[in-house]
């Protein structure tokens, strides 16, 4: 498949509006695994209870031809209403939330608090020997925060994955 693989891979953030029915997530995940596409991040939640719609944000990487394939393959799934490529439509707002636990005493503890403060992370749980921080931001910011906490007694990280929305007055 030389035609396809010659082009360098790009990272795209896709927003999907889908029927919130059983199996819809399995359909989407199955499409990615079955056709060998990448999922870098995936978030799902119902956004309209009345019309039972969910919004899915998928971050994927692939050559431009593959990205086009992914979009049209997603679009032809029956419960998928809309597929919008936020990377193409212009700068979108992308945010992720993470909860991060560190353990330590004394100086190390002080250091962790300082770093959390400079990243505007909130402390949501405290014991005498641990903290849980909550941070929201672009994925890269969270990556950076986590790597700084690594030598300071990092215990575990829980991340939501990216939620994204287009800028400006119009909806998807």
Partner 1 sequence: MMREMTGAEMVMQALIDQGVEHMFGYPGGAVLPIYDAMFHQNQVKHVLVRHEQGAVHMAEGYARSSGKAGVVLVTSGPGATNAVTGLTDALLDSIPVVCITGQVPTHLIGSDAFQECDTVGITRPCTKHNYLVRDVNDLARVLHEAFYVAQNGRPGPVVVDIPKDVQFAKGIYVGPENIQHKTYQPKLRGDDEKIRAAVELLAKAKKPVFYTGGGVINSGPEASRLLREFARLSGYPVTSTLMGLGAYPASDKQWLGMLGMHGTYEANMAMHDCDVMLCVGARFDDRITGRLDAFSPGSKKIHIDIDPSSINKNVKVDIPIIGDVKHVLEDMLTTWRGMKAEPDRRAIASWWGEIDRWRARKSLSYAKSPDVIKPQYAIERLYHAVKDKDVYITTEVGQHQMWAAQHFHFEEPNRWMTSGGLGTMGYGLPAAIGAQVAHPESLVIDIAGEASIQMCLQELSTALQFNLPVKIFVLNNEYMGMVRQWQDLLHGGRYSHSYSESLPDFVKLAEAYGGVGIRCSRPGDLDAAIQEMLKSDRPVLFDCIVDQKENCLPMIPSGKPHNEMILPDHPEGLDEAISEEGKIMV
What residues make contact with partner 1 under the rule CB under 8 A? 1-3, 19, 22-23, 26-27, 30, 34, 65, 68-69, 72-73, 75-81
> Whole-number minimum distance, CB 164 to partner 1, in Å?
22
> Whole-number minimum distance, CB 26 to partner 1, in Å?
6
Instruction: Yes or no: say if 18 and 79 are a contact pair by the CB < 8 Å rule.
Output: yes
> Whole-number minimum distance, CB 41 to partner 1, in Å?
23
Closer of 20 and 109 to partner 1 (Cβ): 20
Closer of 47 and 157 to partner 1 (Cβ): 47
Instruction: Yes or no: say if 68 and 7 are a contact pair by the CB < 8 Å rule.
Output: no
Q: CA torsion angle for 165, 159, 37, 66 (degrees, to 10)?
A: 30
Nearest in space to 55 (alpha carbons), one of 87, 78, 80: 80
Q: What is the DSSP letter of 152?
A: G
Closer of 28 and 149 to partner 1 (Cβ): 28
Q: CA torsion angle for 154, 38, 84, 30 (degrees, to 10)?
A: -110
> Whole-number minimum distance, CB 84 to partner 1, in Å?
15
Q: CA torsion angle for 168, 57, 159, 35 (degrees, to 10)?
A: -150
Closer of 72 and 127 to partner 1 (Cβ): 72
């Amino acid at each position: 498949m030389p035609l396809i693989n010659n082009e360098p891979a790009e990272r795209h953030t896709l927003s999907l509006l889908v029927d919130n029915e059983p199996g819809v997530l399995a359909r989407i995940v199955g499409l990615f695994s079955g056709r060998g596409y990448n999922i870098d991040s995936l978030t799902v939640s119902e956004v309209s209870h009345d019309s039972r719609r969910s919004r899915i944000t998928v971050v994927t990487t692939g050559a431009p031809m593959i990205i086009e394939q992914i979009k049209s393959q997603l679009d032809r799934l029956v419960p998928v209403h809309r597929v919008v490529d936020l990377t193409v439509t212009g700068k979108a707002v992308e945010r992720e939330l993470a909860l991060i636990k560190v353990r330590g005493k004394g100086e190390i503890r002080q250091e962790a608090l300082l770093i959390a403060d400079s990243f505007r992370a909130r402390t949501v749980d405290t014991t005498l020997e641990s903290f849980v921080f909550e941070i929201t931001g672009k994925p890269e910011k969270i990556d950076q925060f986590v790597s700084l906490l690594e030598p300071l007694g990092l215990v575990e990280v829980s991340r939501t994955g990216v939620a994204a929305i287009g800028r400006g007055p119009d909806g998807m």
